[in-house]
Amino acid sequence: MSLFSFRWGMLFVAFVSSFAVRAEGVLLLPGEMAPLFALADADGKSHKLAEWRGRWLVLYFYPRDNTPGCTTEARAFRDHLSELNALKAQVVGVSVDTIESHRGFADSEKLPFPLLADVDGQVAHSYGALTNLAIMRFAKRHTYLIDPEGRIAIAYRDVDPSKHAEEIIADLKRLRTP
């Protein structure tokens, strides 16, 4: 093997490995306190985790606004919102998209719950939901059901966007039954 082909081979390996998927952050477990956050919604209003103390919080992370799976999931939460509200639960979506992107997505889908802009990915990272590709970052489709005291009740890491809202409703009913 010539030195020239060896260098090209090493360059190719470096290039390919730069596209490896890298998950960041830790996976939170039931019973742990949910990490604190303060993020802006589609209107630029800041929201903190403490704002929902005393209620159940469905904190769902999703990859991108206006993509098929993310739209399906958001519509399902929208369509089941009255049931979730009856169970004293607040739905909040988080992605690394911008406020402007969230505004367009929320308006086009008539989403009546906050979409929070985690542009630097710090909140997704703290919830173990940040994925880095060499050229882009996005939130993994994870959801945390947070109890009224601010603890993780259930961590969903394998989410089917079309059935997820119904899954959460069933779990909330089960958790709220004495």
Give catalytic residue positions.
Answer: 70
Residue 91's closest CA among 3, 172, 13? 172
Residue 101's closest CA among 124, 81, 118, 80? 118
Q: What is the dihedral angle through the alpha carbons of 22, 61, 156, 59, rounded to the nearest 10 degrees? A: 140
Evaluate whether 96 touches 25 at the Cβ level (below 8 Å). Answer: no
Evaluate whether 98 touches 119 at the Cβ level (below 8 Å). Answer: yes
Distances (CA, A) of 27 to 55, 88, 100, 127: 23, 25, 29, 6
